[in-house]
Amino acid sequence: MSSQATRKYWYARCREASYIGILGSVAWTVALVLPFRPFDELPPVMAGGGPGEWLVIGYLLYVILGVGAFGWLSGLLHVIEMEEGRTISQSLMWPGFLMLLLGTTVSCVSLGCAGASGGYASLNGGTSSLHQMLAPYLYPLSATTIVAAAGAFMVLLAMVRARGT
């Protein structure tokens, strides 16, 4: 069996990450429309603005990044690996891919959780503690966003530095 047949290409891994993003997006969408508690309170949270906007932004970013970005990245990597015949650096791509995948997923889900919990608090009369409820999410969101950005930079660098076979 040739090494070509057993080799796992990066475009395929990114396509699989996009598929996982699709499943996550479907699960998140279903959770937003479930007709029982606590999910039935999410539409009013989103319509209420404030922290509900965090929930909507987290959801939209997850759909865009989890599905679209990894699908787009898969297309670019397919061109590099299959059409141009270049090899992606494993030492740059593995950590970059994992940082990008985990950073975007954790950031978007945390943003959604912050929006949901803050929105529940504001709907139930807890608006005075709203800042206290959202504050614990700020530094973790910043950290995971930095991780995702660093991962994206490493992936880009791996693609730019791909070598011909």
pTM: 0.82
Using a 10 angstrom Cβ sphere, with 0-12 exposed, 13-18 middle and 19 or more buried, the burial of residue 49 is exposed
User: What crossing angle do the helices spanning 70-78 and 10-33 adopt, rounded to 10°?
Assistant: 160
Domain hosting 56: range is: 3-164
How many domains are there within the chain?
1
Between CA 126 and CA 100 the distance in angstroms is 35
Q: Is 3 helix (H, G, I), strand (E, B) or coil?
A: helix
Closest CA to 82 of 142, 7, 151: 7
pLDDT tens, residue order, the chain (165 aa): 445 556 789 999 999 999 999 898 888 888 887 777 777 877 877 777 778 888 888 999 999 988 889 999 999 999 999 999 999 999 999 999 999 999 999 999 998 988 888 887 777 766 566 677 777 888 898 899 999 999 999 999 999 999 986
